């Protein structure tokens, strides 16, 4: 469910204060924050914000396309690693089949399409 329009977007008070100070001083320093739930507002455009993902700091350069999104969307907390066992088994099967001289196992043949009815 979306946040109420009456309340407006959530931005951490400390983060908003640091953004205002940085914009006022016309600096390009990186702002560090733990607030992944803060919404990116138009006054953050052009700033580099470091967002903590639980392990390291991820730098987010704010552009106009990011306005309205949350900071946490651009700092993933989990890293997907491939399903290694399935890939490894398939590669070993193909390697052993070609090494023994036997043809590689073919993919399951698709069922034949039904014949079109004869036009009368």
Per-residue pLDDT tens for 4-15?
A: 889 999 999 999
What would the CATH number be for the domain defined by 29-79?
A: 3.30.860.10
More confident residue, 11 or 105: 11
DSSP state of 56: S
From the list 55, 10, 56, the residue with the least C-alpha distance to 35 is 10
Instruction: Classify 52 as helix, strand or coil.
Output: strand
The residue count of the chain comes to: 120
The C-alpha atoms of residue 67 and residue 35 are separated, in whole angstroms, by: 16
Q: Is the pLDDT of residue 55 over 90?
A: yes
Report yes or no: 48 and 30 within 8 Å, Cβ to Cβ. Answer: yes
Residue-level pLDDT at 68:
93
Can you list the alpha helix ranges (DSSP code H) found in the chain?
A: 13-25, 84-99
- pTM for the complete prediction? 0.66
Q: Where are the domains of the chain?
A: 29-79
């Amino acid at each position: 469910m979306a946040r109420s329009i009456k309340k407006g977007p959530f931005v951490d008070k400390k983060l908003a204060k640091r953004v205002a100070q940085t914009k006022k001083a016309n600096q390009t320093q990186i702002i560090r924050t733990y607030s992944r739930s803060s919404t990116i507002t138009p006054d953050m455009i052009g700033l580099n914000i470091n967002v903590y993902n639980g392990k390291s700091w991820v730098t987010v350069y704010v552009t106009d396309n990011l306005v309205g999104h949350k900071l946490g969307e651009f700092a993933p907390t989990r890293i997907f690693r491939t399903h290694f066992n399935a890939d490894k088994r398939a590669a070993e099967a193909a390697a052993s089949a070609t090494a023994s001289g036997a043809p590689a196992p073919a993919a399951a043949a698709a069922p034949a399409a039904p014949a079109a009815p004869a036009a009368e």
